[in-house]
Structure formats: C-alpha cells, structure tokens
Amino acid sequence: MKKRVVLTFPKQTIEEPITYHLIRDYDLMVNILSAKVAPNEEGRMVIELSGQKEMLHNGIEYLKGLGVTTQSLAQDVIWDEQKCIHCTACIPLCPSHALSVDRTQMLVSFNSDRCIVCGLCLKTCPYHAIEIRF
Amino acid sequence: MPKTIAEINERIKKGDAVVVTAEEIIDIVDKKGVEQAAKDVDVVTTATFGPMCSSGFYFNFGHSKPRIRAQKVWLNNVPAYGGLAAVDAYLGATELPEDDPTNTIYPGAFKYGGAHIIEELVSGKDVRLKAISYGTDCYPGKEVETIINLNDMNEAVLFNPRNAYQNYNVGVNCSDRVIYTYMGVLQPRMGNANYSSAGQLSPLLNDPLYLTIGIGTRIFLGGGIGYVVWNGTQHNPCALRGENKVPKRGAGTLAVLGDLKQMSPNWLRGVSMTGYGVSLAVGIGVPIPILNEEICRFTAVRDAEIYAPVIDYSTTYPQRESDVITEVNYSQLKSGKIIVNGKDIPTGGLSSYAKAREISGILKEWIQKGDFILTDKVASLPSSDSGISLKPLRETTPQ
Ligand code: SF4
Ligand code: SF4
C-alpha cells in the first residue's frame, strides 16, 4: 500500500531521525517528494510511504505522537483538462516533468505519479487549470 | 492569372473552394511550388488564441422604470465605464473588482475581473448589474440593481482596440528574484523564456504587409463572426523586418469587433496573471484569399523564418530601454528550449498553438461548407511605407 502525506513540523526542532524510524521500526519505504525545513520555522515535507497497511497506520500515528501534523495527499494536484488551453506556460517550471508537452500536437498532459507537489505550477497557470486539493 | 475575391466567393458558394490552413500551405508550396499552389489554393486560414489585454465589450442594458442615466455602472462589482448614453456601458477585460487586493499581498492572484465576466456571460450565466446616478428630470432614477444575462441585453458587442499582435517579445528575467509580469512568471537568471505568438499560424505573420487583411475583413472572433474595424492601437508597421518582410519585433495590430451573443467560452477565456492582473484570451481566425503568388508565398512562411526579440523584463522592459538580448525563431521556441549566451533556457508559451490550430481548422470548415463568405477590405491598414512610428509619452510639468 502507498500513501502520500504532507507533514507539517512544529517550530522547535524534532530531535528524532524520523525517516530512520519509519524505515527501521515500521518497515516502510520513504520517498521524499518535497521538503522545506528551516530552523525556527514551521517545516513542510511531502513524502510517499509504502509498506503494509497496518505499519503505514502505525507509522503515521508515530509521527502524530511527535507533534507532526499529517495530511493525506490522496488527491494532490488536480489538472483540469477542460480548463487547460495548452499554452505550455507551466512546462518550464515543472521540475519533475509531471506536466509535459507532446511537441507535434503541442498538447499538454499531466502525469500525477510524477508530481512532487511543489506547487510551482499553481501561480503560473493563468487559466485556473491547476489546483491543489487535500 | 490572379484571382479575385468575387471569384473565390463563387467557388465557396458552390462548395468548390480549395481551403487549407496556414500550416498545410507550407507543405503544398514545398511540393508544388508557389506558382502552382497559388493557382490551386483559394483560401488559407490563419488563427491565434492568447491573452489580449486590450479587449472588452459595450452593451445596452435597457431602460429601468423609472429611467436612469447610469453614471457609474458595475457588473458583479467590477466597474464598467458609464460615460456613454443613459444605459450604455463598456466593460474592459482588465478591470478588477472594487475590493480586489491587487498586489497588496504580493504577488496578487487576480482571480477575477472584466474578462471573467465576459467568459461567464458567453457561458449563459447571470451577472449582477448595479448602476447609480444623480437623477435628472428625464431620468429620475438614482440607483438600480438587478440580475442580467446576455439575452437580456439589447446589444452586447465585443470591441477590442488591440488584438492579434503581429509578432511579440520573448520575456526573460536577468535579475536574481522571481518576477511576475504580463509575460507570466519569470524565474531568476533566465530560468525560463516565455513567448506569445502562434508563429506560422498567426494572422498578421501570414500577411506581413497587410495586402488582404484590412478594414472590413470578416473573421472568426471568439467563436462567432466579427470584423477587422481599424488598425489596432500601437500599430507599428515600420518595425524592423527581415528579408522576407516578416516583422522581427511587435509590429501591426488589429482592432476587431463582433456580436458577443454569438461567441463561446471556448474561445473567450478569462486570464489571471499572478502579480500582474486580468486579461482575456481571445480566439481569432482570419482567412487570407490567395489572389496571387506573392500572397501565397507570404502564407507559406514557417516558424523557422519568423524571429522574435528576447527582452529582459526585470530591467530593460520596465525602464523602456530597448536592448534586445538576442533573436530566436519560433521553431526554436516551440522545441521547448532556446540557447541564450550559451545557456539552455526552457521555453513556455502564453498563446496556445493547439487552440490556434483548432481555430484554423474550424474556419476552414466554415468556408468549405459555404457558411463563411470572404469580404474585400474597404480600406487598407497603414503598412511599412506609412512612416508611422510609435511615440513614447512626452512627460512635461503641467503649468
Ligand atoms: S506541483 Fe506542479 S510544478 Fe510541481 S511537480 Fe506537480 S505538476 Fe509539476
Ligand atoms: S499553464 Fe495552465 S493552461 Fe497552460 S498548459 Fe499549463 S495547465 Fe494548461
């Protein structure tokens, strides 16, 4: 089972090496999709966890116990094909090529599996075709 | 033998006209040569779909009881210009709601404005109309507030003072911070380059000297039928041109007009440029009658032969300096990257080539079916021999 979660860290630093514990204690695969953590600021991290259902649940409980807020990212970035006019303005900004163009048709498409939820495309799309939903 | 528009129209009415898009003509000229292509092809359809700020519509909303000489008018809290007759007003595409935070929380989102109201109206939606006045003997009403839609209006006419720019800048950002411009979000140190033209499909790039496109030309406008009514504002036909006569800078523009009631949200879309403002994306298709070889050769122009200037929007552009970093062509721009000063820069468009292609196809179909007859221009647009130059604002101290 796979699950994408947004972790929000409290301002004070968490001393525990959380990825290490998630891997060792809960036997989870941890894939860091994006992270913004700086000292004395609220940190934000998007991770993909895969492993057994029960372990996944326990791992998330463990994070909550540390004061980390978790939000599921089951539906993360939504690209609305009807609203997209295929201008390609978002293409140079997307670091993971989740948004890409077929250069012969000049049509844009979105592959959510590649999306790392960095949010860069949101401010770029002039047509409200991209939304982040939690 | 040169053809006339009347002859082409006869063939259109019979369903015999040979109509191709501005993409298709390139191959035809390649294979057959210009001479033969000019004989075989009657019409080439061109198109563009992208943000065009100088847009808006005027409308007559009918007389209230008692009558009002509407002095100030709002649609969904967005001000429309009421300095016309009693119940006439003009709503500009870039106008913002009264309470919009604009750039106070930088960069502003500009989620809604005049352009979005235009899109809502052509989608059949209701909007809130409010008007106020000072009251006169013949127009005693001082305030009116109601719900109105496109059908309720007596006239609703899209009237865009400047659309269909013949070529445009490629925007980059040489500074160290992200900038938010009408050319989109530009990443620091030339992190991206944004362009805004349909290139080889774009109307005025296929008729660079305005031989056929002029005042009175019937066009596809926002999904309905419209007309070129004048040159657009900032029409600059004497801009730098290549040997092929195609401008290498922003040059000619068109003022266009058409019945908003015929139009569709597919081809009129509200645009929100983060940190900049609101604009309207307008779909325009222009037919070019192939009257002779010269006109045919012009329509066969391809992306690799159309050059645009790369401009720094962090300093040069805002300060009205004219440094062009380099020139690139549309084939390079559409490939997804250009090379500037030895550096690869990913490119993004603002104008949709896919949508322009769709419009050129729709217009082609309309003409093939006999639903769209060509018009002859009634007057020409000022061209490269006009001596026109763009005047910057002369700023003097008022006495
Ligand atoms: S959030 Fe947008 S820019 Fe970032 S990876 Fe996903 S699609 Fe690409
Ligand atoms: S910027 Fe928006 S409209 Fe343009 S291609 Fe990307 S998703 Fe589509």
Report CB contact under 8 Å: A105, B354.
yes
Buried b / exposed e along B162-184 (16+ C-beta atoms within 10 A)? bbbbbbbbbbbbbeeebbbbbbb
Cα(A119) to ligand 1 centroid in Å equals 6
User: Which pLDDT belongs to residue A34?
Assistant: 74
3-state secondary structure of B43: strand
Contact indicator for B206, B48 with CB cutoff of 8 Å: no
Cα(B318) to ligand 1 centroid in Å equals 30
Confidence of residue A62 (pLDDT cuts 50, 70, 90): confident
pLDDT tens digits, one per residue of B168-223? 999 999 999 999 999 999 999 999 999 999 999 999 999 999 999 999 999 999 99
pLDDT tens digits, one per residue of A4-36? 787 888 776 567 788 888 898 889 988 887 777
A129 lines ligand 1 (CB under 6 A): no
Ligand nearest to the CA of B50: 2
Give the closest of A87, A90, A128 to B351, CB-based: A87
Distance in Å, alpha carbon of A99 to nearest chain B alpha carbon: 12
Confidence of residue A65 (pLDDT cuts 50, 70, 90): confident
Q: Which range of residues forms the domain containing residue B29?
A: 5-45+159-264+282-354
**Residue scoring higher pLDDT (A85 or A40):** A85
Looking from the CA of residue A83, the nearest atom of ligand 2 is 3
User: Which pLDDT belongs to residue A75?
Assistant: 53
**Closest-approach residue (CA) in chain B for A105:** B354
Residue at B170 is within a domain:
yes
Q: How far is CA B200 from CA B61, B70, B271, B332, B356, in A?
A: 40, 45, 24, 13, 10
Give the closest of B192, B271, B352 to A93, CB-based: B192
Residue at B197 is within a domain:
yes
Ligand nearest to the CA of A120: 1
Average pLDDT, chain A: 85
Contact indicator for B356, B363 with CB cutoff of 8 Å: no
Among residues B53, B138, B174, B238, the one annotated as catalytic is B138
Percent of chain B with pLDDT over 90: 98
Residue B53 annotated to the active site: no
Report CB contact under 8 Å: A85, B49.
yes
pLDDT tens digits, one per residue of B9-41? 999 999 999 999 999 999 999 999 999 999 999
| Contact status of A89 with chain B (Cβ, < 8 Å) | yes
Residue at B341 is within a domain:
yes
Give the closest of A86, A90, A91 to B352, CB-based: A86
Q: With residue B38 as reference, give the H or E element that holds it.
A: helix B34-40
User: Which pLDDT belongs to residue A59?
Assistant: 87
pLDDT of A74 above 70: no
Using a CB-CB cut-off of 8 Å, the residues of chain B touching A101 are 336
The pLDDT of A75-98, averaged and rounded, is 92
Residue at B301 is within a domain:
yes
User: Which pLDDT belongs to residue B10?
Assistant: 97
User: Which pLDDT belongs to residue A10?
Assistant: 77
Q: Give the tokens for residue B298.
A: 């012009």
Residue at B130 is within a domain:
no
Q: Give the tokens for residue B126.
A: 């209701």
Residue at B299 is within a domain:
yes
Number of structural domains in chain B? 1
Name residues of chain B where pLDDT drops below 70: 1
> Could you tell me the domains of chain A?
2-73 (3.30.70.260), 76-132 (3.30.70.20)
